[in-house]
A and B are shown apart, each in its own frame.
Chain A
Amino acid sequence: MLSGAEKTYIEAGAAQGIRADGRGLLDLRPVTLETSLLPTASGSARVRIGGVTDILVGVKAEVVEPHVNAPDEGLMSFAVECSSLASPDFVGRGGADLNAELSQLLTRLYASSATRELRRGLALIPGRKCWVLHVDALVLDSGGNLYGALSLAVRAALRVVTLPRVVIIPGEADDDDEIEVNEEVFERLSRSEDAPVAVTLSAVGGRGIYIADSTSEEEACAKAAITMGVNLAGRACGAVSGGTGGVDMDTLKSMLKDAVRVGGDILKTTDSFLQDDIARMESGEEVEPVGFFS
Chain B
Amino acid sequence: MSTPTFSIVRPPPPSTASAPLSHIPITIPGSTIPTEDLSVRARGTLLSTTGSTRVLTATVAGVITRVNKLVMVRPLRAKYIPETGDVVIGRVTDLAGRRWRLDVNAARHAILLLSAVNLPGGIQRRRTYQDELNMRAFFTEGDLVSAEVQEQWDDGCVALHTRSLRYGKLSGGTFVPVQPELVKRAKKHFHRLDCGVHAILGNNGYIFLAERAEKEGGATTPEMRKMVARVRNAVLALDTEFIAIGPDTIMSVYDASIEEGVELRDMTRPDITAKICEGARSMRAAA
Tell me, yes or no, whether A binds B: yes
Q: Could you tell me which A residues sit within 8 Å of B by CB distance? A: 1-6, 8-9, 12-13, 16-34, 46, 48, 50-51, 212, 258, 261-262, 265-266, 269-270, 273, 290, 293-294
Q: Could you tell me which B residues sit within 8 Å of A by CB distance? A: 1-14, 91, 93, 140-144, 169-175, 219-220, 222, 225-226, 229-230, 232-233, 236, 240, 263-270
Q: How far is the CA of A15 from the CA of B215 in the complex (A)?
A: 22
Tell me the number of A-to-B contacts counted with CB atoms below 8 Å. Answer: 138
Is B93 in contact with A1, judged by CB distance below 8 angstroms? yes
Residue B10 contacts which of A20, A24, A33 (CB distance < 8 angstroms)? A33
Most buried by B among A8, A20, A51, A269: A20
Known: A1-B91, A32-B11, A294-B11. A9 touches B173 (CB 8 A): yes
Q: How far is the CA of A9 from the CA of B226 in the complex (A)?
A: 13
Known: A1-B93, A212-B4. A21 touches B232 (CB 8 A): yes
With a cutoff of 8 Å between Cβ atoms, the chain B residues found around residue A19 in the complex are 229
Is A18 in contact with B11, judged by CB distance below 8 angstroms? no
Q: How far is the CA of A31 from the CA of B271 in the complex (A)?
A: 12
Known: A24-B265, A32-B270, A290-B14. A18 touches B170 (CB 8 A): no
Closest to B12 in A: A294
Is B144 in contact with A6, judged by CB distance below 8 angstroms? yes
How close is A27's CB to chain B, nearest CB, in angstroms?
5
Closest to A270 in B: B8
Is A22 in contact with B226, judged by CB distance below 8 angstroms? yes
Q: How far is the CA of A249 from the CA of B76 in the complex (A)?
A: 52
Q: How far is the CA of A6 from the CA of B143 in the complex (A)?
A: 9
Is A13 in contact with B225, judged by CB distance below 8 angstroms? yes
Is A9 in contact with B144, judged by CB distance below 8 angstroms? no
With a cutoff of 8 Å between Cβ atoms, the chain A residues found around residue B144 in the complex are 3, 5-6
Q: How far is the CA of A258 from the CA of B3 in the complex (A)?
A: 10
Is B91 in contact with A22, judged by CB distance below 8 angstroms? no
With a cutoff of 8 Å between Cβ atoms, the chain A residues found around residue B11 in the complex are 32-34, 46, 48, 290, 294
With a cutoff of 8 Å between Cβ atoms, the chain B residues found around residue A33 in the complex are 8-11
Closest to B215 in A: A5
With a cutoff of 8 Å between Cβ atoms, the chain A residues found around residue B91 in the complex are 1, 3
With a cutoff of 8 Å between Cβ atoms, the chain A residues found around residue B232 in the complex are 20-22
Is B171 in contact with A5, judged by CB distance below 8 angstroms? yes
Is B14 in contact with A293, judged by CB distance below 8 angstroms? yes
With a cutoff of 8 Å between Cβ atoms, the chain B residues found around residue A266 in the complex are 6
Is B229 in contact with A28, judged by CB distance below 8 angstroms? no
Closest to A28 in B: B6
With a cutoff of 8 Å between Cβ atoms, the chain B residues found around residue A26 in the complex are 1-4
Q: How far is the CA of A183 from the CA of B232 in the complex (A)?
A: 52
How close is B243's CB to chain A, nearest CB, in angstroms?
15
Is A3 in contact with B142, judged by CB distance below 8 angstroms? yes
How close is A216's CB to chain B, nearest CB, in angstroms?
12
How close is A248's CB to chain B, nearest CB, in angstroms?
17
Q: How far is the CA of A13 from the CA of B240 in the complex (A)?
A: 25
How close is A293's CB to chain B, nearest CB, in angstroms?
4
Is A1 in contact with B141, judged by CB distance below 8 angstroms? yes
Residue A18 contacts which of B13, B225, B263 (CB distance < 8 angstroms)? B225
With a cutoff of 8 Å between Cβ atoms, the chain A residues found around residue B229 in the complex are 18-22
Residue A31 contacts which of B6, B225, B266 (CB distance < 8 angstroms)? B6
Q: How far is the CA of A28 from the CA of B263 in the complex (A)?
A: 13
Is A290 in contact with B12, judged by CB distance below 8 angstroms? yes
Closest to A1 in B: B142
Residue A27 contacts which of B170, B265, B270 (CB distance < 8 angstroms)? B265
Residue B220 contacts which of A2, A12, A32 (CB distance < 8 angstroms)? A12
